[in-house]
Amino acid sequence: MQRFLTYTASLALVSTALLAPHRARAQAVSVDAKAGDYSLTLKVLPAEAFTGAHAEMARDGGAKANMVDGPGHPNHHMVVFIKKGDKPVEKAMVSITYRKVGQKSMDWSILPVTRMHVKGKGLATTHFGNNVSLTPGSYEARVIVNGSQPALFHFKIADQAPMARHPRSPESRVR
């Protein structure tokens, strides 16, 4: 177990270093919507590291984080920032579902919701979501906060996902 953890941590380091030059080219989505009394901002960013020396995220609750080099090889970080009035919400029951639009299969996927903040930036940067694998296309996401009415978001993922240029592509690793 100890050896496995060390291996995973060093993989995360290597991958962060390899991905870093591509980050500037990766697209960032930011969409606002209301869920009852809550003001939400959905952000879809390049996948973020939760572990290792270059960790950007500090997980502090909720579901397990999807690691950048874990199953599914997530290439994005889909998260929601929540405010009530002007105050960032640091504790909430959040559900996030999403689906690709314009496909035959339109089933909603459930995003396991991790609570995190930006490492070193304090709880005011709290947000909810996870790393996730998204192929290019149009998406909608539905977010419910503490049993609110769902907020509906629409966003697009452009052609170039960061993992597509990764030397160890998902395909080559699976087969």
Residues of this chain that bind Cu ion (CB under 5 A)? 57, 79, 116
Nearest-CB residue to Cu ion? 57
Of the pair 55, 168, the CB lying nearest Cu ion is at: 55
Of the pair 116, 141, the CB lying nearest Cu ion is at: 116
* Shortest distance in whole angstroms from residue 114 CB to Cu ion: 8
Tell me the DSSP string of 47-85: ----SSTT--EEEEEESPP--TTSTT---EEEEEEEEET
* Shortest distance in whole angstroms from residue 86 CB to Cu ion: 21
- CB-CB contact of 135 with 161 (8 Å): yes
> What amino acid occupies position 31?
V
Of the pair 57, 94, the CB lying nearest Cu ion is at: 57
* Shortest distance in whole angstroms from residue 131 CB to Cu ion: 8
**Tokens found for residue 1:** 């177990």
* Shortest distance in whole angstroms from residue 45 CB to Cu ion: 8
- Which among 141, 150, 127, 29 has a CA at the least distance from the CA of 80? 127
- CB-CB contact of 79 with 56 (8 Å): no
Of the pair 19, 79, the CB lying nearest Cu ion is at: 79
Which neighbouring-strand residues pair with 157? Answer: 137
